[in-house]
Chains A and B, each alone.
Chain A
């Protein structure tokens, strides 16, 4: 008789929603809205929520979403590279060992981005309606104020310049982590493309709605 058509789904809805939600926020904050704008800060908090949920899901979610299913193990990653070179194809119920290292790298990177972002912006700024889109997405007076403070700090007393410096250090760390994230995203897409070419389209469609 026919083989069972019902294959186990690898990624559950929470994994998919948090994945694409984070993709959306990164695109929004990298390309669409101004650095430090109100929209940027709100999107950042959205990212924080999605990341926190995904990490909690790693503890209480179904088996394939749990950290236990994809431990960060360089040894297993090396063995997996050996498998690839030898042309062996193993079925993994969760991330493959190389993908697992990527996932932890991305999560670490995102955590640094969120932490430095929150440290710079404080709680989400209150917005009074109606508000024009240009104010929402541009470097608003909030950012200018900070710039002003910087200049003052640099010119003023040692204590204030300390605040300015730590703010600057946060900003640099934020940007460095973001640049590292771009590199990881590039590697991730390259990895998925490679895996799809090696073991079939299922790698590509697994994360899409309805994909298995």
Chain B
């Protein structure tokens, strides 16, 4: 789950880097073009050629400005998302701790419940905790009984119910 979240962030970073590289190339192109155009414009008379150069210069600068502004927005959004994700993670783990204590889960059961909520199967949990699959199944049954649900989906939905607020308009 976490790997997927991080790979999403990496993909976002790559996208931002690509746009940033294009903005840098545009800026370099603009510097060389402007250096030429300024000489033409300052020495030449107002001709179609100079008018065209001014138009191109304007388009280039506007493009850079807009591209840079959009890049800045993307970077700010990515930072905001990363912060929000961290806050949500903290909140989710706090809520789990609270519920596990309320239900009176043992430490072992709390760990199994956490693995189960993170999407691990019985066999995987057994391997991770170095116990028999039967033990994990027994622990899950106990967890469901203490929390008053009958399946993993129902257990998961107990948390989502608390974390997701549906707004009524």
Taking a contact as CB atoms under 8 Å apart, the answer to whether A61 and B21 are in contact is: no
Taking a contact as CB atoms under 8 Å apart, the answer to whether B36 and A49 are in contact is: no
The number of A-B residue pairs with CB atoms under 8 Å apart is: 87
Taking a contact as CB atoms under 8 Å apart, the answer to whether B36 and A13 are in contact is: no
Return the contact of A62 from the options B21, B23, B76 (Cβ within 8 A): B76
| Interface hit among A2-10, A30-38, A145-153 | A2-10
Is A107 among interface residues, defined by CB-CB distance under 8 A?
Answer: no
B2's nearest neighbour on chain A, judged by CB, is A5
Taking a contact as CB atoms under 8 Å apart, the answer to whether A52 and B93 are in contact is: no
Q: Which residues of B contact A (CB under 8 A)?
A: 2, 5-6, 9, 13, 16-17, 20-21, 23-24, 27-28, 30-32, 35-36, 38-39, 64-65, 68-69, 71-72, 75-76, 79, 82-83, 85-86, 89-90, 93
Taking a contact as CB atoms under 8 Å apart, the answer to whether B24 and A14 are in contact is: yes
A65 to B76, CA, bound (A): 11
Known interface pairs A45-B31, A46-B31, A124-B36; A6-B85 also in contact (CB < 8 Å): yes
Taking a contact as CB atoms under 8 Å apart, the answer to whether A124 and B16 are in contact is: no
Taking a contact as CB atoms under 8 Å apart, the answer to whether A62 and B75 are in contact is: yes
* 10 nearest CB pairs, A to B: A49-B31, A13-B20, A4-B86, A1-B93, A53-B27, A62-B75, A49-B28, A123-B35, A13-B17, A6-B82
Return the contact of A8 from the options B35, B65, B79, B90 (Cβ within 8 A): B79
B37's nearest neighbour on chain A, judged by CB, is A123
A49 to B31, CA, bound (A): 5
Q: What would 6 A/B residue contacts be, using CB atoms closer than 8 Å?
A: A1-B89, A8-B79, A49-B31, A53-B64, A60-B69, A61-B72
Known interface pairs A13-B17, A21-B24, A53-B23; A60-B72 also in contact (CB < 8 Å): yes
- Additional A-B contact list (20), CB under 8 Å, known A52-B31, A123-B38: A1-B93, A5-B6, A6-B6, A7-B82, A8-B79, A9-B13, A14-B20, A14-B24, A18-B24, A45-B31, A46-B28, A46-B31, A50-B27, A53-B23, A56-B65, A60-B68, A123-B35, A123-B36, A124-B32, A124-B35
Taking a contact as CB atoms under 8 Å apart, the answer to whether A53 and B68 are in contact is: yes
What is the interface size of chain A, counting residues whose CB is below 8 A from a CB of the partner? 31
Is A122 among interface residues, defined by CB-CB distance under 8 A?
Answer: yes
Nearest CB on A from B139, distance (A): 19
B23 contacts which chain A residues (CB < 8 A)?
14, 53
Taking a contact as CB atoms under 8 Å apart, the answer to whether A17 and B85 are in contact is: no
Q: Which residues of A contact B (CB under 8 A)?
A: 1, 4-9, 12-14, 17-18, 21, 45-46, 48-50, 52-53, 56-57, 60-63, 65, 118, 122-124
A4 contacts which chain B residues (CB < 8 A)?
85-86, 89-90
Nearest CB on A from B158, distance (A): 18
Return the contact of B82 from the options A8, A46, A60, A63 (Cβ within 8 A): A8
A12 contacts which chain B residues (CB < 8 A)?
16, 20, 71, 75
Nearest CB on A from B1, distance (A): 12
A21 to B28, CA, bound (A): 11
Nearest CB on A from B53, distance (A): 13
A14 to B147, CA, bound (A): 51
B20 contacts which chain A residues (CB < 8 A)?
12-14, 17
Nearest CB on B from A42, distance (A): 8
Taking a contact as CB atoms under 8 Å apart, the answer to whether A123 and B79 are in contact is: no
A21 to B20, CA, bound (A): 13
Taking a contact as CB atoms under 8 Å apart, the answer to whether B35 and A45 are in contact is: yes
A160 to B52, CA, bound (A): 36
B28 contacts which chain A residues (CB < 8 A)?
46, 49-50
Taking a contact as CB atoms under 8 Å apart, the answer to whether B27 and A52 are in contact is: yes
